[in-house]
């Protein structure tokens, strides 16, 4: 599956927020308010309504590490359900396996979590799963392979972070279970999903 492989700090600077793409938050913060490009923020006009909606949509893509085609597909699926489109869209993104590994604190960033999954270091219900976009369901048991637990960074995180970052996942060491589906309040990042819904429904 395609993914963005360019400089991550540039994305954070473009949005003007720390998107959690890098582990060194201090380094990101130093240049966060300087826009990318030769002249930075000079001569920037106030963004239009469309510009604000576009920026929020881009932010969501950068946070979850997906491309436009994937996000549009998730939006269309969410819009066909009876629940609120924006909240449903975020719930579907939260259920991605790479995001679940990140929320379980088995990886410092979603990019690192994606790599763990892609390299077959993660099992779902005792079966190796190498698809980062796999959507977990209630009752799914997610575990790390023995090889993954020998990776120094992963071993350190297992030691330092005993609990998952969210309540819808139950974690015990290198094993975890999905105890319920994620809701809007489970999304820890600052996202205005209504702007994204407005962007796609234009």
Q: Which domains are assigned to the chain?
A: 8-93+188-200 (1.10.1050.10), 96-181 (3.10.290.10)
pLDDT on residue 123: 97
Read off the pLDDT band of 46 (50, 70, 90).
Answer: confident
Q: Provide DSSP, 117-167.
A: HHTT-EEETTEE---TTPBP-TT-EEEE-TTGGGSHHHHHHHHH--S-SST
pLDDT on residue 146: 94
- The pLDDT of 55-70, averaged and rounded, is 92
For 104, phi then psi, to 5°, come to: -80, -5
CB under 8 A, 24+ apart: contacts of 107-113? 107/153, 107/154, 107/157, 108/23, 108/153, 108/157, 109/20, 109/21, 109/22, 109/23, 110/20, 110/21, 110/63, 110/64, 110/65, 111/8, 111/21, 111/65, 112/153
- The pLDDT of 27-37, averaged and rounded, is 61
Is-contact 19 63, C-beta < 8 A? yes
pLDDT on residue 18: 64
pLDDT on residue 162: 85
Read off the pLDDT band of 11 (50, 70, 90).
Answer: confident
pLDDT on residue 161: 85
pLDDT on residue 45: 74
The fraction of the chain above a pLDDT of 70, given in percent, is 79
Predicted confidence (pLDDT) per residue in 80-95, tens digit: 999 999 999 999 999 9
Return all residues near 71 (Cβ < 8 A) that are at least 6 apart: 57, 60, 61, 64
- Residue carrying structure tokens 């006009």: 45
* Stronger pLDDT, 202 or 31, i.e. the higher one: 202
- Of 108-112, 137-141, 188-192, where does the model show the most confidence? 137-141
pLDDT on residue 30: 59
- The pLDDT of 110-139, averaged and rounded, is 95
- Judge whether residue 159 has pLDDT over 70: yes
Read off the pLDDT band of 181 (50, 70, 90).
Answer: very high
- The pLDDT of 90-115, averaged and rounded, is 95
- The pLDDT of 118-146, averaged and rounded, is 96
């Amino acid at each position: 599956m395609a993914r963005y492989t360019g400089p991550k700090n540039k994305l954070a600077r473009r949005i003007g927020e720390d998107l959690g793409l890098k582990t060194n938050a201090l380094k990101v913060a130093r240049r966060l308010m300087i826009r990318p490009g030769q002249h930075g923020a000079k001569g920037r006009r106030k963004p239009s309504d469309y510009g604000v909606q576009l920026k929020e949509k881009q932010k969501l893509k950068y946070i979850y590490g997906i491309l436009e085609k994937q996000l549009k597909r998730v939006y269309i699926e969410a819009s066909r359900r009876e629940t609120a489109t924006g909240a449903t869209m975020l719930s579907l993104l939260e259920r991605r396996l790479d995001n679940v590994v990140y929320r379980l604190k088995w990886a410092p960033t979603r990019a690192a979590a994606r790599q763990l999954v892609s390299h077959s270091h993660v099992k779902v219900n005792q079966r190796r799963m190498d698809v980062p976009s796999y959507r977990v369901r209630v009752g799914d048991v997610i575990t790390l392979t023995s090889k993954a637990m020998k990776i120094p960074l992963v071993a350190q995180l297992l030691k330092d972070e005993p609990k998952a970052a969210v309540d819808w996942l139950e974690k015990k060491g290198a094993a975890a279970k999905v105890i319920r589906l994620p809701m809007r309040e489970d999304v820890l990042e600052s996202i205005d999903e209504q702007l994204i819904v407005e962007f796609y429904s234009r």
